[in-house]
Chain A
């Protein structure tokens, strides 16, 4: 025999139920079978999390092994002969289910999980029709652990999925197991209640109805709902969420089909933050300020009134200022910028900017493939987070990095002004005050040169010249580097892409006639009209111009509405069709889940206003698909493959690769610093987000 160092085999051949299969070495038998279409039942096994082998449902017969083996912990081996359907296995499964049902109550008719319960399905398929147990079942009363989470110990089958999802997936570790043997149960970290992210991942992952959500309890049964796949409207990560809708009311948010960029990940906002749309403070009728008080009027009267004012200001050569919100769809933003530039003949157009993407694009000019997507955050060998509490501000990107560490042993580096959750599993965490980031980076230089690739995620403390410095420093590392410029809200990125900026047209083309930025508009003393679409720029700020006629399109009467002369009720993102672009530049489709009486989408309001002003022909049809067609055709980077969008996927945009030669006013760029439980203007009106004990939360605390 030679001592040749033959490469390890790249494929392992084995037999399951007489079928020849092959898989890469190290694949678990249960996964290999699943891919070949052979179902092996399991409760505790969950793809992506650590192995437990607790439920004993996945037992299979392997030749030359005396006892039945758990397929979930058994890696495939060369020449292995497996049988997954034999008399012995059927008996074992039946026995396992009989034991699970010794204490599991048969209250399926009143259980929220009834109809989508894995235990129900398993018993139906593999279980015995009757039980030999005649003893009285152990019963423990139900407990409420938080405003969101209820735990019913009697229903729990102790698969530990929730424990692992909380610990590994979320990095919180708020759940554990207490007691031993037959009295084991899941316990929260604060003995009788939870102190956690309130993300509800444990509820979603629970195969039975042991963990239930307070917002969904008893509202409906699973088969009564329509499922609408749309995009979460809160932060910029753009998680896909499937809304359960019953009788025009959203009753549940989750993503159990694991479609979209986020799989089934959702944070507290994505899973429960939809209640803003049913808040009873919603504006339901247009209002005009008459004698200092907002009075409800008809749509035609309000539209006519605004159009009349716009026309007279326009004729007199007055100044307009337009402020867009970061939650509008790409279609609305595009239509609004066209309205402003072509209709109102001004570029006084802006939104609350939260990240300096413009300078980044300019600094990356000439580099291809330099912007990371959310998939890159999962696949990269190393990542560097600068100036952001990622788990709080960008929970999905933080989840991706955690999964990257678990599955690919990636190295995470953080440079932040305070302690962050990433420190627990990072290769190196450095705390420096804002401004000192580059000293920390210089210390990291040698370490990072040893990495194969790097994804840099940076927050709003890196802006202007500092972005150029960062790119220059990273270029010196000599490894491929990709960047993510972190921004705040669901379509902050789209607002920049759609040219809702005073000096840039859609697709980052330089505007030959730049206008005023948001800060300049507010401090302009003779501004004649301020038109606010889905934003609240006057929160904590004042409008310098006393004469300004303020029009606002809003869901709630907030600070801007208090100053407004006309208020239009607008629809929330759960009531809209269109597209949004997430922080990593992926476009996804919004689908209207419900309708709210009285409100119209911002696109429709802008369109009706254009019609009233006689500009409709010039600006175009206010239908989301017509506007999207125009975006698809004309905006640089948005000629994305349509099948991906239509089927609910995320299509990566490919923005400009060239100089973006404009002055960036870095004082305009400021992140709102939202935590997990705040969400700018929307979060204030979510009863659930404001009711959890962790609200409002704080950045850089853990």
Chain B
């Protein structure tokens, strides 16, 4: 008698386990096919930084160094220069002539993005930056800047508008 009860109990346990498997088989897949397929990232994922442009195609970065000041791992290096009438690079008075981020030190904490007063630096979704050569991990401004669309025409070269209120 005890033997039959034992067999039935075991069969019930197997059926219970298999039912979980069966239910899961019918659920949508939540794992990624990465690296065979593309990785799916959340919108707010913090990857390699992207330097943004404004609606006129000018760089948003004004070279204020606040990101470098906020950076806990001290990986941002900036040199600022002045915009001239002939060569306007950014919307503000000055721009970053050199903007480097050392990804061998960056911890992707996002403090720089929070510190930026002009929303010039944001996190992109690029993350495959591993390298056998650490010197390639120092990214220059050109590598991080959003490219201008091929057919881009600036609407109007924006003069520094007086800001209202504060």
Contact = CB atoms under 8 A, between A and B. Distances in A.
Interface of A: 101, 105-110, 114, 130-131, 133-139, 217-221, 223-224
A139 B63 contact: no
Nearest to A131: B166
Interface in B8-66: 62-66
- Max chain A Cβ within 10 angstroms of own Cβ: one of B92, B162, B166: B166
Contacts of B63: 110, 218
A110 B64 contact: yes
B80 A219 contact: yes
B69 A136 contact: no
A107 B163 CA distance: 9
A340 to B, nearest CB: 46
A105 B118 CA distance: 15
A106 B166 contact: yes
A109 B64 contact: yes
B114 interface: no
Contacts of A107: 92-93
A362 B33 CA distance: 94
Interface of B: 62-66, 68-69, 80-82, 92-94, 117-118, 162-166
Contacts of A108: 64, 117
A106 B118 CA distance: 12
A109 B164 contact: no
Q: Main secondary structure on chain A at its contact with chain B?
A: loop
Given A217-B82, A224-B65, 6 more contacts: A107-B92, A131-B165, A134-B164, A137-B163, A137-B164, A218-B82
A135 B92 contact: no
Nearest to B97: A218
Nearest to A246: B79
Contact of B62 (A110, A135, A138, A219): A110
Contact of A221 (B64, B162, B163): B64
Contacts of B117: 108-109
A135 B164 contact: yes
B163 A105 contact: yes
Contact of B69 (A131, A133, A218, A221): A221
Contacts of A135: 164-165
Nearest to A123: B166
16 contacts: A105-B162, A107-B92, A108-B117, A109-B64, A109-B92, A109-B117, A109-B118, A110-B64, A134-B165, A135-B165, A137-B162, A137-B163, A138-B162, A218-B82, A221-B69, A224-B68
A136 B164 contact: yes
A605 B64 CA distance: 42
A130 B80 CA distance: 30
B71 to A, nearest CB: 12
Contacts of B94: 110, 218
Nearest to B116: A109
Contacts of A134: 164-165
B89 to A, nearest CB: 12
A461 to B, nearest CB: 47
A137 B162 CA distance: 6
Nearest to B92: A110
A115 B72 CA distance: 18
- Max chain A Cβ within 10 angstroms of own Cβ: one of B63, B92, B165: B165
Q: Which 3 pairs between the two chains have the least Cβ-Cβ distance?
A: A109-B64, A221-B65, A139-B162
B76 to A, nearest CB: 11
B68 A136 contact: no
A219 B79 CA distance: 7
Contacts of A137: 162-164
Contacts of B162: 105, 136-139
A109 B81 CA distance: 13
Nearest to A154: B162
Nearest to A109: B64
